[in-house]
Structure 1
Amino acid sequence: MLAGLANLSVTDCGSDDPDLKREMEKQFVDLLTEELKLQEAVAEEHIHHMNVTFAEAKRVASQYQREAEKCNAATETCEEAREQAEALLIRERKITSLWEQRARQLGWEGE
């Protein structure tokens, strides 16, 4: 008798009793339903986490973009100022050369 019981599997459980078999199938369906709900909850949590992470990444990227634009504007301003200073220096050198030339014509001996 024990040997016959050892060969029973979960699928055999209640196979002789239709009411018990229906109850077991119902419990199996309930377990599957619960498992699906758990998987759905995990997926929703994962999606929520991804959305939060994505929103944070967009915020940080936007902040870096604004900082990069500020740097570009400052670089342009510096470049314009450098060009203006260079133009003024060239002008001053021309004027200095002209004054030095006139001074030499009037007898000044430079260093």
Structure 2
Amino acid sequence: MVHSLVNCAKRDPEVNEDTEKNYAELLTEELKQREAASMEKHKRVDTGLLEAKKITSSYQKEADKCNSGMETCEEAREKAEKALVEQKKLTSMWEQRARQKGYKDGATKSTVKSKSGTEVA
């Protein structure tokens, strides 16, 4: 029995070679699995990055439209403001002319007198 234990403790070159081959195959398989998992993760990250770029581009386009709209609105406001100033000047001029011709605030058409002193209807 001692003899069989001694033989068991000896290294068998054939067993060592098979074990090393199996170990190398297992390591190769594990590396392939890790590489596949890494590639899949990389693909998901690339897809997410592409989607983020698309969303960013969409938001940028919307921001550009908004800015353009604001500029257009501001230009229109400035034009309207200038037109209002011009209209106020014109109104003031016509009011002045009307007063020079005898118009008084609160006067109605039926109570306005002509230069000759008679009421005009």
TM-score normalised by length of structure 1: 0.82
1:39–1:75: structure 2 CA closer, same or farther, 3 Å change rule? same
Question: Which consecutive aligned stretches of 4+ in structure 1 deviate over 3 angstroms post-superposition?
Answer: none
Q: Which has the higher contact order (CA 8 A, sep 6+)?
A: 2
For the structure 1 residues 14 and 39, does the alpha-carbon distance in structure 2 shift closer, same or farther, using more than 3 Å as the test?
Answer: farther
Could you tell me which residue of structure 1 aligns to residue 34 of structure 2?
39
Q: How far did 1:16 drift?
A: 2.1
Q: Which whole-Å CA distance do the structure 1 matches of 2:26 and 2:9 have between them?
A: 17
- Distance apart, 1:57 and its partner CA: 1.0
- Alpha-carbon displacement from aligned partner over 1:33-90 (angstroms, at most 9, x marks no partner): 1111111001100111111111111111111111111111111111111111100000
Aligned residue pairs, count: 101
1:85 aligns with 2:88: no
Larger Rg computed on CA atoms: 2
Give the aligned partner of residue 97 of structure 1: 92
Q: Structure 1, unaligned stretches of length 5 or more?
A: 6-12
- Residues 24/15 of structure 1: CA separation in 2 closer, same or farther (3 Å cut): farther
Alignment pair present for 1:64 and 2:59: yes
SS in 2 for 1:16: coil
Q: Give, in whole Å, the separation in 2 of the partners of 1:80 and 1:15.
A: 96
Distance 2:55 2:33 in 1: 33
Task: Name the TM-score, length of structure 2 as normaliser.
Answer: 0.76
3-state SS, counterpart of residue 107 of structure 1: coil
| Cα distance in 2, alignment partners of residues 109 and 49 from structure 1 | 82
Residue identity (%): 50
The CA RMSD over aligned residues, in Å, is 2.1
Which sections of structure 2, spanning at least 5 residues, go unmatched?
A: 107-121
Establish whether residue 110 from structure 1 lines up as the match of residue 105 from structure 2: yes
